[in-house]
Amino acid sequence: MRLDDQSESQNVEDRRGGGVVAGSVGIGTLLVALAAGYFFGIDPAVILGLVSNSSHNTSSAARPAAKPPANDEMASFVAKVLGSTEATWQTVFREAGRRYQEPKLVLFAGATPTACGTGKSAMGPFYCPADQKVYIDLAFYRDLRERFHAPGEFAQAYVIAHEVGHHVQHLLGISDKVHAAQQKSGNRAAANALSVRLELQADCFAGVWGHRADSMQKILEPGETEQALTAASAIGDDRLQRQTQGQIVPESFTHGTSEQRVRWFKRGMDSGDVRQCDTFSAASL
């Protein structure tokens, strides 16, 4: 990726090397943990067993934020990608007569307190709406390359853009509506189906960022779009379930199939138009 001219976001907090305090969570956080677990093929029971004492975590997370060291190339890359998402979504929101509220991005190693409970590396990158922060252990990028066979900088950038997509959904009130509908449904299969539409929309939003960022700054090298498509395909529910369980259970999908994830990312990438990302009105995903 051509990011030399991209300014680094000032909204990156470095907690690597810091301690973590165990905590507990509420119902909303359990849904976040379940979604994060399904996203990366981890047994949700394992994820839920790792979080406790959220009130203590919230106070711990209020410690003064540290900035990444200037010579940390990976942290610099993440900060530039985040800065690019900020420029894109500021423009999109301004076009709609709204103001974009930038999220924070937290770098951590192993575990960290969040307003959604204790975040663990095993959960993969995730967004916590309660504190409007994206969390990522940079070791995940090794997993992306080695476990998911999705190397490349644009694949790494897609991961950040997807989580920022969840922040956009939070700002627009989409996430709250979905979670309310999930609780009202009283049906796990129906709740999962809504989760799939939420996640596919975040994929589409990531594509919108890719289109607009490249249009504004020509950030992509030839062939890099395929890197993100490979990453989206690698973390489809069907592929992850086949790898981890040996069988596919569509009713338990929470993020969409590989084909669906690629389709919606590509839809946003091709159009650069958020209006093309209405997964909730789509008759077919």
Asked if residue 3 belongs to a domain, the reply is no
Q: Please indicate, yes or no, if residue 285 is contained in any of the structural domains.
A: no
**Residue 209 within a domain:** yes
In-domain check, residue 212? yes
The Cα 31–Cα 175 span in angstroms is: 12
The answer to whether residue 5 sits within a structural domain is no
Structure tokens at 279: 């997964």
Mean pLDDT of 86-111: 96
**Banded model confidence at residue 60, pLDDT cuts 50, 70, 90:** very low
pLDDT at 59 over 80: no
Burial class, 218, CB count within 10 angstroms (exposed 0-12 / middle 13-18 / buried 19+): exposed
pLDDT of residue 89: 97
The pLDDT assigned to 42 comes to 47
The string of DSSP codes covering 155-191 is HHHHHHHHHHHHHHHHHHTHHHHHHHHHHHH--HHHH
**Full-model pTM:** 0.81
Give 55's pLDDT tier (boundaries 50, 70, 90). Answer: very low
Residue 245 is predicted with a pLDDT of: 63
Residues ≥6 apart with Cβ < 8 Å to 165:
201, 202, 203, 204, 205, 206, 209
Rounded-to-integer distance, Cα 205 and Cα 267, Å: 9
| Residue at 142 is within a domain | yes
User: What pLDDT does residue 25 have?
Assistant: 44
Q: Is 137 exposed, middle or buried (0-12, 13-18, 19+ CB in 10 A)?
A: buried
Residue 45 has pLDDT above 50, yes or no: no
pLDDT at 149 over 60: yes
Average pLDDT over residues 182-211: 92
- 255-280 pLDDT, tens digit per residue, is 878 889 999 999 999 999 999 999 99
Give yes or no for residue 112 having a pLDDT over 70: yes
- Is the confidence at residue 87, as pLDDT, over 60? yes
Question: Which structural domain, as residue segments, surrounds residue 85?
Answer: 12-277
Q: Give the C-alpha separation, 228 to 62, whole Å.
A: 34
How does the average pLDDT of the chain come out, rounded?
A: 83
DSSP state of 24: B
If one counts the domains in the chain, the total is 1
Task: Return the H-helix or E-strand segment holding 104.
Answer: strand 104-107
Does 251 fall in a domain?
Answer: yes
Q: Which whole number is the average pLDDT over 201-230? A: 91
Half-sphere exposure of 40 (CA within 13 A, CB side): 20
**Per-residue confidence (pLDDT) for residue 96, from 0 to 100:** 95
Q: Which of 129-143, 227-241, 244-258 has the lowest mean pLDDT?
A: 244-258
Which residue's structure tokens are 């974009």?
A: 100
Domain for residue 6, yes or no? Answer: no
- Six-digit token string for 117: 């409970």
Label residue 54 by pLDDT band (50, 70, 90).
Answer: very low
> Which stretch of 9-18, 42-51, 236-245 has the lowest confidence by average pLDDT?
42-51
Q: Is the pLDDT of residue 58 over 80?
A: no
